[in-house]
Amino acid sequence: MKSIFKSDKIFGMEMDEKIRLENMKIRYLRLVVDLSIAEIYQSKISLLEALRIMKRARNVAMNLFPDSESTFDLVYAPRFRRAILERFRLN
C-alpha cells in the first residue's frame, strides 16, 4: 500500500505492516475455526465438549480481535451451530 502522503514513507510502511498483521490474524482465526468444526464433526465427543470447543474458538477470536463478539456471532457461530446440530442430530 502506498502512503497517502508522498513524502511520508514511514506511514505507508506502517500501514503495510498493520494490514499484513491483520491478514495473518484473520488466517489464523479461520484455521482455528475450521479445525474446531472438523473436530466437532469427526471426533467422538459429547455435546458439552462440542460447546466447549466453540467457546474456545470464540475466546481465540476475542483475543485476536477485541470487541468483535458480534462479528463472531454473525460469521462463525452459525457454522458452529450447524455442525453441532448435524453432529448430534438436534433438529
Per residue in 11-23, pLDDT tens?
Answer: 667 888 889 999 9
* Model pLDDT for residues 21-65, shown as the tens digit of each residue: 999 999 999 999 999 999 999 999 999 999 999 999 999 999 999
Extract long-range pairs of 35-42: CB within 8 Å, 24+ residues apart.
36/80, 37/79, 37/80, 37/83, 40/80, 40/83, 40/84, 40/87, 41/83, 41/86, 41/87
